[in-house]
Amino acid sequence: MQSVPVTKSPHTFAEFTTQKAARIYRIPMLAFPNFWVYAYLVFVDEMIVLIDTGSGFGDCTACLEEGFERIRSIEGLASVMDNLDYILITHGHIDHFGGLPYLAEKTDAKVGVHELDLRNLTNYEERILVSERRLREFLLEAGVESEKLEEIIRVYLVNKMLSKSVPVDFTYNAINMQLGRFEFLHVPGHSAGHVVIRLDDYLFCGDHVLNGISPHQWPERLTLNMGLGHYLSSLDKLERWADDDIALTFSGHNEVIENLSSRITQIKGIHAKRLERTLDILSEPGTVAEVSSQLFGEVGGYDVLLSIEETGAHVEYLYQRGLLGISNIGEIEQGSVPLLYQRLNDPVAEQMRVCC
Protein backbone atom coordinates (compact mmCIF):
# COMPACT_ATOMS: atom_id res chain seq x y z
CA MET A 1 0.00 0.00 0.00
CA GLN A 2 1.20 3.46 -0.78
CA SER A 3 0.55 6.50 1.31
CA VAL A 4 0.10 9.75 -0.56
CA PRO A 5 3.48 11.06 -1.71
CA VAL A 6 4.14 14.66 -0.71
CA THR A 7 4.56 15.43 -4.39
CA LYS A 8 5.25 13.44 -7.55
CA SER A 9 7.67 15.88 -9.16
CA PRO A 10 11.25 14.59 -9.53
CA HIS A 11 13.87 15.01 -6.83
CA THR A 12 11.56 15.76 -3.94
CA PHE A 13 11.27 14.60 -0.38
CA ALA A 14 8.43 12.09 -0.09
CA GLU A 15 7.04 9.61 2.41
CA PHE A 16 5.51 6.19 1.88
CA THR A 17 4.10 3.39 4.02
CA THR A 18 4.36 -0.29 3.12
CA GLN A 19 1.49 -2.75 3.39
CA LYS A 20 2.85 -3.89 6.75
CA ALA A 21 3.30 -0.34 8.04
CA ALA A 22 7.03 0.22 7.58
CA ARG A 23 7.62 3.94 7.03
CA ILE A 24 9.89 5.07 4.18
CA TYR A 25 11.23 8.58 3.62
CA ARG A 26 12.83 9.50 0.32
CA ILE A 27 15.60 12.11 0.58
CA PRO A 28 16.72 13.95 -2.59
CA MET A 29 20.40 14.92 -2.74
CA LEU A 30 22.56 16.74 -5.27
CA ALA A 31 25.30 14.15 -5.82
CA PHE A 32 27.24 16.18 -8.40
CA PRO A 33 26.35 19.33 -10.38
CA ASN A 34 23.04 18.62 -12.18
CA PHE A 35 23.04 15.02 -10.97
CA TRP A 36 20.55 13.98 -8.30
CA VAL A 37 20.46 10.85 -6.23
CA TYR A 38 18.08 9.51 -3.57
CA ALA A 39 18.69 7.97 -0.18
CA TYR A 40 15.84 6.23 1.66
CA LEU A 41 15.38 6.19 5.42
CA VAL A 42 13.26 3.30 6.63
CA PHE A 43 11.56 2.74 10.00
CA VAL A 44 10.70 -0.92 10.44
CA ASP A 45 10.32 -3.13 13.54
CA GLU A 46 12.12 -0.68 15.85
CA MET A 47 15.02 -0.43 13.37
CA ILE A 48 16.09 2.70 11.52
CA VAL A 49 17.80 1.84 8.25
CA LEU A 50 19.38 4.10 5.63
CA ILE A 51 19.53 2.79 2.06
CA ASP A 52 22.41 4.50 0.18
CA THR A 53 24.19 7.66 1.29
CA GLY A 54 24.70 9.97 -1.68
CA SER A 55 28.14 10.97 -2.96
CA GLY A 56 29.54 12.94 0.00
CA PHE A 57 30.51 15.59 -2.58
CA GLY A 58 29.64 19.31 -2.37
CA ASP A 59 26.23 19.87 -0.78
CA CYS A 60 25.22 16.20 -0.93
CA THR A 61 25.74 15.47 2.76
CA ALA A 62 24.02 18.74 3.67
CA CYS A 63 20.99 17.53 1.66
CA LEU A 64 21.08 14.26 3.63
CA GLU A 65 21.26 16.11 6.93
CA GLU A 66 18.39 18.35 5.85
CA GLY A 67 16.32 15.23 5.11
CA PHE A 68 17.26 13.72 8.48
CA GLU A 69 16.20 16.92 10.25
CA ARG A 70 12.83 16.88 8.52
CA ILE A 71 12.32 13.21 9.42
CA ARG A 72 13.52 13.78 12.98
CA SER A 73 10.75 16.30 13.48
CA ILE A 74 8.07 14.12 11.79
CA GLU A 75 9.07 11.08 13.85
CA GLY A 76 9.54 13.06 17.09
CA LEU A 77 13.12 11.83 17.57
CA ALA A 78 15.95 13.63 19.36
CA SER A 79 18.32 12.67 16.54
CA VAL A 80 18.29 10.43 13.46
CA MET A 81 22.09 10.03 13.42
CA ASP A 82 22.19 8.79 17.03
CA ASN A 83 19.48 6.22 16.37
CA LEU A 84 20.58 4.89 12.98
CA ASP A 85 20.99 1.08 13.15
CA TYR A 86 22.03 0.06 9.62
CA ILE A 87 23.27 1.55 6.37
CA LEU A 88 22.57 -0.73 3.39
CA ILE A 89 24.40 0.05 0.14
CA THR A 90 22.64 -1.00 -3.09
CA HIS A 91 25.93 -0.99 -5.03
CA GLY A 92 29.50 0.22 -4.87
CA HIS A 93 29.30 3.39 -6.95
CA ILE A 94 30.42 6.65 -5.42
CA ASP A 95 27.05 8.42 -5.83
CA HIS A 96 25.55 5.73 -3.58
CA PHE A 97 28.25 5.17 -0.95
CA GLY A 98 30.41 8.34 -1.06
CA GLY A 99 28.59 9.75 2.01
CA LEU A 100 29.85 6.85 4.18
CA PRO A 101 33.08 8.42 5.52
CA TYR A 102 31.04 11.27 7.00
CA LEU A 103 28.31 8.96 8.35
CA ALA A 104 30.89 6.61 9.86
CA GLU A 105 32.10 9.50 12.01
CA LYS A 106 28.61 10.55 13.06
CA THR A 107 26.82 7.24 13.67
CA ASP A 108 27.34 3.75 15.07
CA ALA A 109 25.25 2.24 12.26
CA LYS A 110 26.41 -1.10 10.86
CA VAL A 111 27.26 -0.90 7.15
CA GLY A 112 26.35 -3.69 4.71
CA VAL A 113 27.21 -4.26 1.05
CA HIS A 114 27.31 -7.23 -1.32
CA GLU A 115 30.69 -8.98 -1.22
CA LEU A 116 31.36 -8.40 -4.94
CA ASP A 117 31.28 -4.64 -4.32
CA LEU A 118 33.01 -4.85 -0.94
CA ARG A 119 36.41 -3.82 -2.26
CA ASN A 120 34.93 -0.71 -3.90
CA LEU A 121 34.26 0.52 -0.36
CA THR A 122 37.08 -0.98 1.68
CA ASN A 123 39.93 -0.83 -0.87
CA TYR A 124 38.90 2.26 -2.75
CA GLU A 125 42.36 3.60 -3.61
CA GLU A 126 43.53 0.20 -4.90
CA ARG A 127 40.34 -0.18 -6.88
CA ILE A 128 40.88 3.18 -8.63
CA LEU A 129 44.40 2.17 -9.60
CA VAL A 130 43.32 -1.18 -11.04
CA SER A 131 40.31 0.38 -12.77
CA GLU A 132 42.44 3.08 -14.38
CA ARG A 133 44.81 0.45 -15.73
CA ARG A 134 41.97 -1.64 -17.18
CA LEU A 135 40.21 1.41 -18.57
CA ARG A 136 43.40 2.52 -20.32
CA GLU A 137 43.81 -0.91 -21.99
CA PHE A 138 40.16 -0.91 -23.02
CA LEU A 139 40.35 2.61 -24.52
CA LEU A 140 43.51 1.75 -26.47
CA GLU A 141 41.91 -1.37 -27.93
CA ALA A 142 38.75 0.64 -28.58
CA GLY A 143 40.75 2.88 -30.92
CA VAL A 144 40.55 6.09 -28.90
CA GLU A 145 43.37 8.39 -30.01
CA SER A 146 45.94 9.22 -27.37
CA GLU A 147 45.05 12.86 -26.64
CA LYS A 148 41.38 12.00 -26.16
CA LEU A 149 42.33 8.95 -24.10
CA GLU A 150 44.36 11.04 -21.65
CA GLU A 151 41.51 13.52 -21.35
CA ILE A 152 39.04 10.69 -20.62
CA ILE A 153 41.36 9.26 -17.93
CA ARG A 154 41.80 12.72 -16.41
CA VAL A 155 38.04 13.27 -16.15
CA TYR A 156 37.62 9.73 -14.77
CA LEU A 157 40.19 10.27 -12.05
CA VAL A 158 38.85 13.69 -11.02
CA ASN A 159 35.51 12.07 -10.23
CA LYS A 160 36.98 9.01 -8.56
CA MET A 161 39.34 10.91 -6.28
CA LEU A 162 36.38 12.28 -4.34
CA SER A 163 36.01 9.41 -1.91
CA LYS A 164 38.19 7.17 0.25
CA SER A 165 38.13 3.68 1.75
CA VAL A 166 35.62 3.03 4.52
CA PRO A 167 35.13 0.00 6.76
CA VAL A 168 32.16 -2.31 6.21
CA ASP A 169 30.54 -4.45 8.94
CA PHE A 170 28.88 -7.25 6.97
CA THR A 171 28.19 -8.59 3.50
CA TYR A 172 24.78 -9.71 2.32
CA ASN A 173 25.61 -13.36 1.65
CA ALA A 174 27.04 -13.61 5.17
CA ILE A 175 23.57 -12.80 6.51
CA ASN A 176 21.84 -15.15 4.03
CA MET A 177 20.53 -12.26 1.96
CA GLN A 178 18.08 -11.28 4.70
CA LEU A 179 18.03 -8.66 7.46
CA GLY A 180 14.81 -8.67 9.48
CA ARG A 181 12.08 -8.02 6.90
CA PHE A 182 14.60 -6.89 4.25
CA GLU A 183 15.45 -9.42 1.52
CA PHE A 184 18.35 -8.99 -0.92
CA LEU A 185 18.50 -10.15 -4.54
CA HIS A 186 21.92 -10.12 -6.24
CA VAL A 187 21.61 -8.47 -9.66
CA PRO A 188 25.13 -8.18 -11.16
CA GLY A 189 25.63 -6.09 -14.31
CA HIS A 190 25.52 -2.35 -13.64
CA SER A 191 27.96 -3.22 -10.85
CA ALA A 192 29.35 -6.61 -9.81
CA GLY A 193 27.68 -6.61 -6.40
CA HIS A 194 24.49 -4.73 -7.15
CA VAL A 195 21.47 -5.79 -5.08
CA VAL A 196 17.77 -5.08 -5.18
CA ILE A 197 16.31 -4.86 -1.67
CA ARG A 198 12.76 -5.92 -0.92
CA LEU A 199 10.76 -4.69 2.05
CA ASP A 200 7.17 -5.92 2.21
CA ASP A 201 5.52 -4.78 -1.04
CA TYR A 202 8.25 -2.25 -1.96
CA LEU A 203 11.57 -2.65 -3.78
CA PHE A 204 14.70 -0.52 -3.64
CA CYS A 205 16.51 -1.11 -6.91
CA GLY A 206 19.41 1.37 -6.87
CA ASP A 207 20.56 1.78 -10.47
CA HIS A 208 19.47 -1.66 -11.71
CA VAL A 209 16.24 -0.28 -13.20
CA LEU A 210 15.64 3.43 -13.76
CA ASN A 211 12.80 5.43 -15.22
CA GLY A 212 13.46 7.44 -18.37
CA ILE A 213 17.00 6.17 -18.98
CA SER A 214 18.61 2.76 -19.39
CA PRO A 215 21.17 2.14 -16.60
CA HIS A 216 24.75 2.56 -17.74
CA GLN A 217 26.63 -0.56 -18.91
CA TRP A 218 30.35 -1.27 -18.76
CA PRO A 219 32.18 -4.05 -20.58
CA GLU A 220 32.91 -6.95 -18.25
CA ARG A 221 36.58 -6.73 -19.17
CA LEU A 222 36.77 -3.70 -16.86
CA THR A 223 35.36 -5.61 -13.87
CA LEU A 224 34.25 -9.24 -13.70
CA ASN A 225 30.50 -9.74 -13.16
CA MET A 226 29.67 -6.46 -14.83
CA GLY A 227 28.77 -6.44 -18.51
CA LEU A 228 25.59 -6.62 -20.55
CA GLY A 229 25.22 -10.43 -20.40
CA HIS A 230 25.09 -10.35 -16.59
CA TYR A 231 22.85 -7.30 -16.63
CA LEU A 232 20.24 -8.85 -18.93
CA SER A 233 20.22 -12.08 -16.86
CA SER A 234 19.72 -9.96 -13.75
CA LEU A 235 16.71 -8.25 -15.34
CA ASP A 236 15.24 -11.74 -15.87
CA LYS A 237 16.00 -12.57 -12.25
CA LEU A 238 14.28 -9.43 -11.00
CA GLU A 239 11.25 -10.17 -13.15
CA ARG A 240 10.41 -12.95 -10.68
CA TRP A 241 9.96 -10.27 -8.02
CA ALA A 242 8.08 -7.95 -10.37
CA ASP A 243 4.69 -9.43 -9.58
CA ASP A 244 1.38 -8.05 -8.41
CA ASP A 245 2.59 -8.06 -4.81
CA ILE A 246 4.99 -5.20 -5.57
CA ALA A 247 3.30 -1.84 -5.12
CA LEU A 248 6.23 0.42 -5.97
CA THR A 249 9.90 0.25 -6.91
CA PHE A 250 12.25 3.01 -5.74
CA SER A 251 15.20 3.89 -7.95
CA GLY A 252 18.45 5.61 -7.07
CA HIS A 253 17.96 8.60 -9.33
CA ASN A 254 14.46 9.25 -10.49
CA GLU A 255 10.75 8.81 -9.95
CA VAL A 256 9.19 5.65 -8.52
CA ILE A 257 8.50 2.82 -10.95
CA GLU A 258 4.85 1.80 -10.82
CA ASN A 259 4.96 -1.05 -13.33
CA LEU A 260 8.30 -2.78 -12.88
CA SER A 261 7.58 -5.57 -15.34
CA SER A 262 6.84 -3.18 -18.17
CA ARG A 263 9.88 -1.02 -17.35
CA ILE A 264 12.08 -4.15 -17.49
CA THR A 265 10.61 -5.00 -20.91
CA GLN A 266 11.30 -1.45 -22.14
CA ILE A 267 14.93 -1.57 -20.98
CA LYS A 268 15.47 -4.97 -22.62
CA GLY A 269 14.01 -3.48 -25.80
CA ILE A 270 16.48 -0.56 -25.70
CA HIS A 271 19.42 -3.00 -25.50
CA ALA A 272 18.02 -5.32 -28.17
CA LYS A 273 17.75 -2.35 -30.53
CA ARG A 274 21.25 -1.12 -29.64
CA LEU A 275 22.67 -4.60 -30.25
CA GLU A 276 20.94 -4.80 -33.63
CA ARG A 277 22.28 -1.37 -34.58
CA THR A 278 25.80 -2.37 -33.48
CA LEU A 279 25.60 -5.44 -35.73
CA ASP A 280 24.42 -3.28 -38.64
CA ILE A 281 27.24 -0.77 -38.16
CA LEU A 282 29.76 -3.61 -38.01
CA SER A 283 28.73 -5.01 -41.37
CA GLU A 284 31.89 -3.07 -42.21
CA PRO A 285 34.91 -3.45 -39.89
CA GLY A 286 35.12 -0.80 -37.16
CA THR A 287 36.58 0.00 -33.76
CA VAL A 288 34.51 0.46 -30.61
CA ALA A 289 35.25 4.22 -30.86
CA GLU A 290 33.86 4.32 -34.41
CA VAL A 291 30.73 2.37 -33.43
CA SER A 292 30.29 4.68 -30.44
CA SER A 293 30.30 7.83 -32.56
CA GLN A 294 27.68 6.28 -34.84
CA LEU A 295 25.51 5.16 -31.93
CA PHE A 296 25.75 8.29 -29.80
CA GLY A 297 27.12 11.04 -32.10
CA GLU A 298 29.68 13.56 -30.91
CA VAL A 299 29.48 14.01 -27.14
CA GLY A 300 31.60 15.96 -24.65
CA GLY A 301 32.84 15.83 -21.04
CA TYR A 302 32.03 12.73 -19.01
CA ASP A 303 29.65 11.54 -21.75
CA VAL A 304 32.68 10.64 -23.91
CA LEU A 305 33.60 7.96 -21.39
CA LEU A 306 30.01 6.87 -20.80
CA SER A 307 29.25 6.42 -24.51
CA ILE A 308 32.41 4.44 -25.23
CA GLU A 309 31.84 2.16 -22.23
CA GLU A 310 28.20 1.61 -23.20
CA THR A 311 29.28 0.74 -26.77
CA GLY A 312 32.08 -1.49 -25.44
CA ALA A 313 29.53 -3.43 -23.39
CA HIS A 314 27.40 -4.08 -26.49
CA VAL A 315 30.32 -5.01 -28.74
CA GLU A 316 31.65 -7.35 -26.04
CA TYR A 317 28.23 -9.02 -25.64
CA LEU A 318 28.08 -9.75 -29.39
CA TYR A 319 31.72 -10.82 -29.59
CA GLN A 320 31.35 -13.19 -26.61
CA ARG A 321 28.45 -14.86 -28.42
CA GLY A 322 30.22 -15.31 -31.76
CA LEU A 323 28.20 -12.70 -33.64
CA LEU A 324 31.29 -10.53 -34.16
CA GLY A 325 34.87 -11.42 -35.00
CA ILE A 326 38.12 -9.45 -35.08
CA SER A 327 39.10 -8.63 -38.66
CA ASN A 328 42.64 -7.27 -38.20
CA ILE A 329 44.34 -10.23 -36.51
CA GLY A 330 47.37 -9.87 -38.84
CA GLU A 331 47.91 -6.25 -37.83
CA ILE A 332 47.50 -7.11 -34.15
CA GLU A 333 50.20 -9.73 -34.53
CA GLN A 334 52.39 -6.96 -35.95
CA GLY A 335 51.78 -4.85 -32.81
CA SER A 336 48.77 -2.74 -33.77
CA VAL A 337 46.54 -2.19 -30.76
CA PRO A 338 43.05 -1.04 -31.86
CA LEU A 339 40.77 -3.99 -32.57
CA LEU A 340 38.58 -3.94 -35.66
CA TYR A 341 35.34 -5.84 -35.12
CA GLN A 342 33.16 -7.18 -37.91
CA ARG A 343 29.87 -9.00 -38.13
CA LEU A 344 30.40 -12.72 -38.80
CA ASN A 345 26.99 -13.90 -40.06
CA ASP A 346 27.72 -17.27 -38.45
CA PRO A 347 24.52 -19.35 -38.76
CA VAL A 348 25.13 -21.13 -35.43
CA ALA A 349 25.76 -17.88 -33.55
CA GLU A 350 22.75 -16.29 -35.26
CA GLN A 351 20.50 -18.98 -33.71
CA MET A 352 20.57 -17.28 -30.34
CA ARG A 353 20.35 -13.75 -31.70
CA VAL A 354 19.73 -10.83 -29.52
CA CYS A 355 18.21 -11.13 -26.08
CA CYS A 356 14.47 -10.49 -26.53
List residues near Zn ion by CB under 5 A.
93, 95, 207, 252
d(CA 53, CA 64): 8
Rounded least distance, CB 253 to Zn ion, Å: 6
Query: Residue 207 or 255: which CB sits closer to Zn ion?
Result: 207
Q: Which is nearer to Zn ion, 41 or 354 (CB)?
A: 41
Please, what is the minimum distance in Å from the beta carbon of residue 113 to Zn ion?
Answer: 13
Of residues 164, 162, 172, the one with CA closest to residue 118: 172
Q: Which is nearer to Zn ion, 117 or 200 (CB)?
A: 117
C-alpha 21/C-alpha 176 separation (Å) is 24
Residue closer to Zn ion (CB basis): 17 or 225: 225
Note the Cα 314 to chain centre separation in Å: 16
Measured between alpha carbons, how far apart are the two ends of the chain, in Å? 32
Give the span between the Cα atoms of 90 and 186, in whole angstroms: 10
Minimum CB distance to Zn ion, residue 206 (Å)? 7
Report the nearest approach of Zn ion to the CB of residue 190 (Å).
Answer: 6
Q: How far is CA 127 from CA 87, 96, 133, 205, in A?
A: 22, 16, 10, 24
The DSSP H or E segment spanning 37 is strand 35-44
Based on CB atoms, which residue is closest to Zn ion, 26 or 343? 26
Instruction: Give yes or no for a contact between 187 and 237, defined as CB atoms under 8 angstroms apart.
Output: yes
CB of 157 to Zn ion, least distance (A): 18
